[in-house]
């Protein structure tokens, strides 16, 4: 591999953390340092000399610092091809000096947007000089080293520990990182101006997974999972684990202000419950389908204590998620070496869903609507009781997170059963009733939620015969009245929400 010696370095960064040892190593190797503004002051305070960009270009920083490095002597020093005779002749004619290393980062645009700053403040955090330096140095990686963010400092420091030379392979590694930084940054700006989140495979970092949905499929995770989760124990999360973990967290987040527990299998709930304690909620969730819970993903929105852990530990499960674990509970759950224990550090911030299809992408807003009492319109003569309203809303939240067609049966903060992923709503209901009977769940007085309207009255007829007394559905069928009439004639209450929750 062709080695190149670093003889000059341009350093201009917003964040100074971790920069000091690199500056000192460059100085030890006799590298000429070039810098701007605050970075120059930082270098000077280390007792190390540097050349100001303004002195190099003989042109001052103007427009409040908007233009500092955008000058032919800077970009010529970076972009000239060292082995191209024409470039070298022009370089000499214009008295341009080589720049062999560029260390630069970008204004914190995404953090500024997230902070709720004004539009004017956000615009000022769109980096121009920095992004131009990154792209220029990355383009000329054959001759120049580009360090585009703090994440590459450790690698650069390791190289400088052995000397001031880099191989082409190393320079190409840095260039690859640079274009990833550039792509992600531009995507964030474009998303801000279009007022929607944009899908970008360039989202950093990229994490390779063991395999995809099946062993013959390759898979990667793009993004920083550590912003949401901290893994305390267990094996590496798989593709299927990640999909189910997202489903589990999304579901338990619906139950704000309550102690909730969900057991997920293949993104669908096989058990959900709310109760005064985590232990009680777990046992109620497990009761709905203790068979499917085997190898499932468990999630709660409250701290797991020892009492809950003792029950959970009796079940073989892949993953347990909670905002915290009591120390005794953690030690007990760690007794299974492969069991993954995750702390949820922050709520999910999903705004869009992205799927690949037909050689392209389809993007939609996330379904962020949770049915509430304000959405309910009673359409039957009989009104649901206060307890039934709570059960209806509870069932509706679960239905929202279950594959269509779905029917969810619930009572007193416990999912009794569900039917999901059926081509017929009747099939989904019959599946739910069959499962409830199998696990000895009493459907007398239960509530039923449907993710979409009833095209015919057959579902309410079947439900009534099973003992169900209240129904929640979006409404909107041209035959809604048929279902309403049946409810009126057979002592069922029904509410409609006007909001459909299909999930494909």
Residues with catalytic function: 139, 266
Task: Indicate the Cα dihedral angle 197, 203, 209, 214, nearest 10°.
Answer: 40
Q: Cα–Cα distance between 63 and 235 in angstroms, integer?
A: 53
Give 113-121 contacts, CB < 8 A, sequence gap 24+: 113/188, 113/192
Q: Which two tokens stand for residue 293?
A: 């819970």
Distances from the Cα of 297 to the Cα of 286, 292, 294, 396, angstroms:
12, 10, 9, 21
Please report how the helices 480-490 and 458-466 are oriented relative to each other, as an axis angle in degrees rounded to 10. Answer: 20
In order, the DSSP letters of 91-127 are HHHTTPPP--EEEE----HHHHHHTT--HHHHHHT--
Give 236's DSSP letter.
P
Name, in order, each residue with C-beta under 8 angstroms of 423's C-beta and a sequence gap of 6 or more. Answer: 405
Distances from the Cα of 27 to the Cα of 11, 50, 409, angstroms:
12, 10, 71
What are the two backbone dihedrals, phi and then psi, of residue 231, each rounded to the nearest 5 degrees?
-90, 120
Segment (H or E) for 221: strand 220-222
Q: Cα–Cα distance between 225 and 236 in angstroms, integer?
A: 13
In order, the DSSP letters of 448-491 are EEESS--SSTHHHHHHHHHT--EEEE----TTHHHHHHHHHHHT
């Amino acid at each position: 591999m062709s080695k190149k010696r670093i003889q000059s370095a341009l350093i201009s960064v917003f964040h100074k953390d971790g920069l000091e040892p690199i500056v000192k190593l460059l100085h030890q190797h006799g590298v000429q340092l070039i810098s701007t503004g605050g970075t120059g002051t930082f270098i000077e305070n280390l007792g190390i000399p540097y050349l100001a960009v303004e002195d190099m270009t003989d042109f001052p920083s103007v427009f409040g610092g908007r233009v500092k490095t955008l000058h032919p002597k800077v970009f010529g020093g970076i972009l000239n091809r060292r082995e191209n005779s024409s470039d070298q002749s022009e370089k000499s004619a214009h008295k341009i000096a080589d720049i062999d290393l560029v260390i630069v980062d970008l204004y914190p645009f995404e953090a500024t947007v997230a902070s709720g700053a004004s539009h004017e403040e956000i615009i000022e955090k769109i980096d121009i000089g920095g992004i131009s330096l990154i792209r220029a140095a990355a383009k000329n990686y054959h001759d120049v080293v580009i360090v585009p963010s703090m994440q590459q400092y450790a690698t650069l420091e390791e190289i400088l520990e052995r000397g001031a030379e880099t191989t082409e392979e190393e320079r190409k590694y840095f260039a690859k990182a640079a274009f990833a930084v550039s792509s992600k940054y531009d995507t964030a700006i474009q998303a801000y101006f279009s007022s929607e989140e944009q899908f970008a495979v360039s989202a950093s970092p990229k994490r390779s997974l063991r395999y995809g949905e099946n062993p013959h499929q390759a898979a990667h995770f793009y993004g920083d999972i550590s912003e949401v989760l901290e893994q305390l124990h267990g094996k590496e999360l798989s593709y299927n684990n990640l999909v189910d973990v997202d489903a589990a967290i999304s579901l338990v987040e619906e139950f704000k202000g309550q102690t909730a527990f969900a057991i997920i299998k293949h993104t669908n709930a096989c058990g959900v419950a709310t109760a005064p304690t985590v232990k009680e909620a777990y046992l109620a969730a497990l009761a709905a389908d203790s068979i499917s819970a085997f190898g499932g993903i468990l999630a709660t929105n409250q701290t797991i204590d020892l009492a809950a852990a003792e029950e959970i530990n009796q079940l073989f499960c892949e993953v347990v998620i909670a905002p915290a674990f009591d120390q005794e509970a953690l030690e007990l759950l760690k007794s299974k070496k492969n069991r993954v224990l995750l702390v949820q550090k922050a709520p999910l911030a999903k705004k869009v869903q992205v799927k690949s299809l037909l050689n392209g992408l389809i993007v939609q807003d996330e379904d962020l609507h949770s049915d509430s009492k304000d959405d309910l319109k009673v359409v039957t003569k009989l009104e649901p009781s206060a307890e039934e309203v709570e059960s209806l809303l509870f069932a509706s939240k679960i239905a929202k997170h279950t594959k269509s067609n779905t029917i969810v049966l619930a009572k007193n903060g416990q999912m009794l059963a569900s039917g999901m992923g059926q081509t017929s709503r009747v099939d989904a209901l019959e599946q739910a009733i069959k499962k409830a009977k199998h696990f000895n769940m009493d459907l007398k007085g239960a509530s039923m939620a449907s993710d979409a309207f009833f095209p015919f009255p057959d579902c309410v007829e079947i439900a009534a015969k099973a003992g169900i007394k209240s129904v929640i559905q979006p409404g909107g069928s041209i035959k809604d009245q048929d279902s309403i009439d049946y409810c009126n004639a057979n002592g069922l209450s029904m509410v409609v929400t006007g909001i459909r929750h299909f999930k494909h």
